[in-house]
Structure formats: C-alpha cells, structure tokens
C-alpha cells in the first residue's frame, strides 16, 4: 500500500485521496467495521502517517452484516436488521454466508450504524464509499411498516442519507462526501455517485459515459467511474484512453477489482499521460469548482449531455459519446485503441484547450488522437479561469489565477470561488477592459496564442488590446 503512495510521489503524480476497499476488513466479516489485524496491526498509526503526507482517507462500507461478524448477533438482538414476515432475521448467502441487512427505517438502527462509522472518523477516515444498497428484498417486513416494493428503491436513499448526515455532522457543512453506487429519486443530495462495476474494455468505457449522462439528466450533479474499468485487466491502450475521460469528469479515481491500476504497471507512457491530465485537472479547478458550486446551488450537473446546453441544435439529442464539462468545455473521449475518433462541434468558433486549434461549427470532426491528447474545446465567448497550481486540487483559486480569454463579449463574467464556495474574486469584460473585484491578489490575462500578462495585486482592471 505505501509502495503505491511512494510510487506516485516518486513519479511526480499528484494524489489527494487514498481509498481502502473491501479487504481492510476480514473476509466473511463484511461489514463489522474492524480492521483486519493481520494486514493492519496499527490502523490508527497508519492513517496518521498517510494524513501527514497530505492525503485524505476513504473507506469502503456496505449495509450488510455477515453472520460471522459479532455485529450480526448485536443487530439481530436489538431489532436493527430487516425481518421476514414470520419474525426472523432476513438473510442471504448471495455474497457472504448468512448476511443480514440493516433496517434504516428504524431510527435506532440508523444511530447504531452511524455510531460504528463515527469511530472510524475519529480514527482518521474522511469519507466512505457506500457500496451496494441495490439488492433489496421485497418479501420482508420493515420496522416502520413501509411498503416493501417502495423500499426496494428507497432503501438506497435512507442508507446514503445516514452516512452523509454523519459525515456532515463530523466534518462540517460543505465537507461531507460519499462515493455511492446505488441511488433513487432525491439521492443527488448525497454525492458523489459512480457508475459501478464496468468491464475493462473500450466498449464498456463508452457505456459508462452513456450511463453517466443519463444520471446527469436525472438531476445528479456529480458522477465518476473507475479509470481503466473494474472487471478484468485493461490493456495499456484501454487504460491510457480512459485516463483523459476519468480526469475530465467531476471526480477521478484509479480503481479495479483483481488487478492494480497504478500507471507504471502498464507502461511509461501511461505514467506520462496520467501526470499530464492530473495536472490539467488541477489547473482547471477554479473552473470546475465553480461548476460544482453551481451544481450544489442550482442543480445543474457538472457533466452535462450536449442537449442540455444546446437544446435547439438538432444533432445534440443523439450525442452520447461526448459531453459538456461545466458550461464552457466540450469533451469527446476517444473510444478506440487507434485513436481515430469522430465528434460534433456546435455553432461558433471553438478553440482546442490543449493545442489552440480553432474549429468553426456546426460540423463533425474526424481525427486521430495520440494517447497524450483528447478533443477538449473551449466554447466561444468564454473567460476560463486557469489555476496557478498543478500539484493538488484544493488551493486558493483566486490567487495568481489566469483569465484565458476566448473571444469574450461585453458583459462576460466569471466568479472564482473560494474553498467554502463563496466568491473569492469576480472578473467581468466591460467594453474594452477586464475588471476584477474581490480581495487583492495577483492575477493574469492570456489571449490565444500569446503569453500571459501578469497583473499585480491591487490593480483591478486590464485593457484589452485593440
């Protein structure tokens, strides 16, 4: 485990969160929330050392209690597990022997479950991957008498709500985050969700995007997926094609089932590709975090189907292999090993963020991409905030920010957020000038094809060249 963390650092690969999946607990004890002492004899000390390296900690959980776990007897005796019509504890052997299911319609059961997680937060965990929640039986009796058919879907809401509210209580407003698999109506209040266990193929990569866009159209603001796929081992081409897609999503995670997803196990180029796109995402964080604030306050998702931004364009309702990231970036992942790809650009003068190439839409574009690039275009009229750091995603976004101008019109405005979601600085195109408001800090302006212009702290406007 520490070898992975050391390997990322040695290769200058930014890393923010380390996740412990299933086997942080003993096999056949999922979930008793106890570290496996054979592998982790000093979990508190280990977490302390990881956090001293600037990492946040995520732990895998689910709502099942295996019969071998001591928590099974505790939960059954207290009435915290779902019951059968004859009064017994409902159990299943589908995953582990004799698993029971926590009854989140019982307030006492919710408190009991949250209490087990609270001890892990006190130890140093920062968030939880709330797995499962979808295999919910309908031949059972719930504590509050709920309709079993309704609870089949609603269970995921109560489960994720329990975990999310605990995190909000423990970490404070704006700091709670899950990595949830199952959801139902209203579940967008408990982000983040990911696409589940996809195959490690290019076809599954495209299917994952299609599912994410469907989730976005259902009102979910944040979405992620396993870079490289979950089941099986991706070949190097699949892994390298997945990296740009993964980093140009709202949340990004390297994860797999039976094989590891660290890039140096594939080839040196995979390391370079991951480094480049991780740094790109860090630079884009003033823009992406602004999109996240919009998702939180207005419900508009960070990743958007093309039709959501261009409802009057007759081509856009059918596009499921590209998307808008926020309101100003068009992303078209490459789903072929050869790099040959085809995507649609709506009306206007769009600029490739990485190459500076300009495409005049509406039109279809066919090209062949290397592993080190991906079609990502800036919408005409954009003032894109470009961060000063590329080594981590959380920093003071307004300090040293560069405003990259792509033919902005009079009145174009961008708000650069602080980490609490409030506006740290605002920039507006006012006639022939860019004006800044907010606490004094240095900033820069950059026109396409030109070097950025440094503007010192205290200077609140800059004249656009004629």
Positions marked catalytic: 131, 134, 197
Radius of gyration of the CA atoms of the chain, in A: 24
- Which of 346, 353, 408, 358 shows the shortest CA–CA distance to 377? 353
Rounded Cα–Cα distance for residues 19 and 130 (Å): 12
Output phi, psi for 76, to 5 deg. Answer: -65, -45
Phi and psi, residue 390, nearest 5°: -130, 10
Residue 57 CA: distances (Å) to CA of 4, 104, 127, 248, 374: 14, 25, 7, 22, 30
Q: Contact 226/194 with Cβ under 8 angstroms?
A: yes
Of 263, 257, 129, which Cα lies nearest the Cα of 204? 257
CB atoms within 10 A of CB 305: 21
- In this structure, the chain runs to a length of 466
Structure tokens at 172: 């404070």
Strands, DSSP E only, in 209-334? 223-224, 226-227, 253-254, 303-304, 323-325, 329-331
Helix axis angle, 107-123 relative to 70-78, nearest 10°?
Answer: 150
Q: How far apart are CA 188 and CA 296, in angstroms?
A: 10
Residue whose pair of structure tokens reads 């001890």 in the numeric block: 119
Give the integer Cα–Cα distance in Å for 305 and 302: 10
Q: How far apart are CA 372 and CA 277, in angstroms?
A: 9
User: Backbone phi, then psi, for 353, in 5-degree steps?
Assistant: -65, -35
In angstroms, the CA 358 to CA 215 distance is 31
């Amino acid at each position: 485990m520490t070898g992975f963390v050391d390997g990322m650092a040695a290769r200058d690969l930014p890393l923010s969160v380390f996740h412990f999946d299933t086997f942080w607990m003993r096999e056949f004890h999922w979930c008793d929330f106890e570290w496996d002492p054979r592998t982790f004899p000093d979990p508190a000390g280990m977490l302390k050392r990881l956090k001293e390296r600037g990492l946040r900690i995520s732990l895998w959980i689910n709502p099942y209690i295996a019969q071998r776990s001591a928590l099974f007897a505790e939960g059954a005796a207290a009435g915290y597990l779902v019951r059968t019509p004859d009064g017994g504890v409902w159990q299943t052997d589908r995953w582990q022997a004799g698993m029971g299911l926590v009854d989140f319609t019982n307030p006492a059961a919710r408190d009991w479950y949250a209490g087990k997680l609270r001890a892990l937060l006190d130890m140093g965990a920062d968030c939880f991957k709330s797995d499962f929640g979808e295999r919910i039986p309908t031949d059972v009796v719930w504590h509050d008498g709920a309709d079993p058919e309704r609870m089949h879907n609603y269970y995921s809401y109560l489960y994720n709500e329990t975990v999310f509210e605990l995190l909000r209580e423990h970490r404070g407003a704006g700091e709670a985050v899950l990595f949830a698999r199952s959801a139902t109506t209203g579940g967008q209040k408990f982000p983040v969700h990911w696409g589940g266990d996809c195959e490690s193929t290019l076809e599954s990569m495209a299917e994952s995007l299609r599912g994410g866009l469907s989730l976005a159209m259902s009102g979910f603001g944040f979405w992620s997926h396993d870079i490289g796929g979950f089941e099986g081992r991706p070949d190097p081409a699949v892994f390298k094609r997945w990296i740009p897609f993964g980093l140009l999503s709202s949340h990004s995670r390297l994860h797999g089932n039976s094989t590891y997803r660290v890039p140096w196990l594939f080839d040196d180029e995979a390391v370079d590709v991951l480094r480049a796109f991780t740094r790109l995402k860090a630079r884009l964080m003033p823009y992406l975090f602004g999109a996240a604030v919009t998702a939180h306050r207005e419900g508009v998702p960070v990743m958007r189907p093309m039709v959501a931004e261009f409802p009057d364009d007759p081509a856009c309702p059918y596009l499921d292999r590209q998307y808008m990231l926020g309101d100003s970036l068009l992303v078209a992942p490459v789903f072929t090993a050869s790099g040959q790809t085809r995507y649609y650009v709506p009306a206007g003068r769009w600029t490739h963020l990485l190459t500076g190439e300009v495409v005049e839409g509406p039109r279809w574009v066919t090209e062949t991409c290397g592993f080190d690039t991906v079609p990502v275009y800036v919408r005409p009229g954009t003032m894109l905030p470009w961060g000063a750091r590329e080594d981590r995603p959380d920093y003071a976004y307004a300090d040293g920010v560069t405003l990259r101008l792509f033919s902005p019109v009079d009145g174009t405005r961008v708000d650069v957020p602080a980490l609490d979601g409030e506006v740290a600085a605002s920039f507006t195109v006012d006639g022939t000038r860019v004006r800044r408001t907010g606490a004094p800090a240095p900033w820069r302006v950059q026109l396409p094809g030109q070097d950025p212009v440094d503007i010192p702290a205290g200077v609140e406007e800059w004249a656009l060249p004629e």
